[in-house]
Amino acid sequence: MSTMKAATVNNFGDALEIKEWDIPTPGPGEVLIKTIYSGVCHTDLHAADGDWPVKPTPPFIPGHEGAGEVVAVGEGVTSLKVGDWAGNAWLWSACGECEFCETGRETYCPNAQYGGYTKNGSFGQYMLCDAKFAPRIPKTVDLSAVAPILCAGVTVYKGLKETEVKPGEWVLISGVGGLGHLAVQYARAMGMRVVTVDVSDEKSELAKKHGAEAAVNALTEPDAAAKIKEITGGGVHGALVTAVNGKAFPAAVGSLRSGGTCSLVGLPPEAFPLDIFSTVLFGLTIRGSLVGTRKDMEECIDFFARGEVTPTYTVEPMDNINDIFARMKAGKIDGRIVMDMGTK
């Protein structure tokens, strides 16, 4: 077999096409992975719609939560061999030589490549990965369940570290989708107390199922920030915003107690007003956080492999991709959708 199927973006905003591609050959330092499962991240939808200022070049294959098996290795690869389980990630590669790579901040490498964005990704039945950056997957885990960990998991795990919330302190998780429902679990596993906010009662139930002590519905609660301050006795120590609506961002900042940090990971193509007076008077920190390093990835896969985190997900065929995107836009997905790539 020399061709494969891939859910392909031909033009921004158009339906994806299940298209035949040649199976690529791994170059030096690369591996070819047979994708068995791929999670569908909201970033893939932003990519397919061309939402962000820096855009991929169609035609391209999205997907950066692919889990599968190494089927070929290129010249010089020593870290992976045929038969190993591995996946792809948003951080497809980084240069290893810039100031960010040299100081443990490789996700901010200006020469980085991104899986399913600048490099074809896991919506294809086969994908190339940089052997040094492809996350290794232990053979003890369920390959469909690990898929959402590879982007949603690592992103919220790192984003929670960036909130600097300590065990026993309160964290707000804003947005309880693919990222947020995992954030609730990582936060609990890291000893934090969790309150969430989303825009439906179903999302509140999902948050509570995974260990949130309280869950606020911003559609029915007239002042979500005030409610969160009341629940937490003065405000959360940190907040992680995974929501896909700009309105969630000032509400999360407004839920912080003095000295709190708000870590932004959701990427709606919008801006939000930051109140200067309260930011100064209450000593607040607002920072962005992009996926995680290879070390963060290893740690967050380990939390999963030890059973500390259990994704809520549904497996569906790759052919459903356009319907999956429609449900994602409508906020109708419970946890994550993981596509069966039909390669088993």
Residue span binding Zn ion (CB under 5 A) among the ranges 81-89, 103-111, 114-122, 316-324: 103-111
Residues, the chain: 344
Question: Considering beta carbons, is residue 71 or 98 the nearer one to Zn ion?
Answer: 98
Q: Which of 9, 33, 41, 129 binds Zn ion (CB under 5 A)?
A: 41
Write down the least CB distance from residue 94 to Zn ion, Å.
5
Say how many residues touch Zn ion, by CB under 5 A. 8
Tokens of 246: 């700009």
CB atoms within 10 A of CB 15: 14
**Binding residue (CB under 6 A) for ligand NAD from 9, 145, 248, 309:** 248
Segment near ligand NAD (CB under 6 A); pick from 15-23, 92-100, 115-123, 241-249: 241-249
Burial letters 88-104, b for 16+ CB under 10 A, else e: bbbbbbbeeebebbeee
The alpha-helical segments, DSSP class H, found in 254-320 are 276-281, 294-305
Which listed option, Zn ion, ligand NAD, none, makes contact with residue 122 (CB within 5 to 8 Å by class)? Answer: none
Contacts with ligand NAD, 169-198, as mask; x by CB under 6 A: -----xxxxxxx----------------xx
| DSSP code per residue over 25-37 | ---TTEEEEEEEE
Sign of CA dihedral 43, 344, 319, 146: negative
Q: Build a one-symbol-per-residue string for 280-309: x at contacts with ligand NAD by CB under 6 A, - elsewhere.
A: ---------xxx------------------
What is the footprint of ligand NAD within residues 311-330 (CB under 6 A)?
A: 328
Cβ neighbors of 206 (< 8 A, separation 6 or more) are 176, 181, 312, 334, 335
101 makes contact, choosing from ligand NAD, Zn ion, none, with CB < 5 to 8 Å by partner type, with: Zn ion
Cβ count within 10 A of residue 35: 29
Unique residue bearing structure tokens 């380990």: 302
Nearer to ligand NAD, 110 or 259 (CB): 110
Q: Give the span between the Cα atoms of 67 and 86, in whole angstroms.
A: 6
How far apart are alpha carbons 329 and 326 in whole angstroms? 5
Residues lying near ligand NAD in the complex (CB under 6 A) are found at 41-43, 46, 151-152, 155, 174-180, 197-199, 203, 218, 242-245, 247-248, 265-268, 289-291, 328, 331, 333
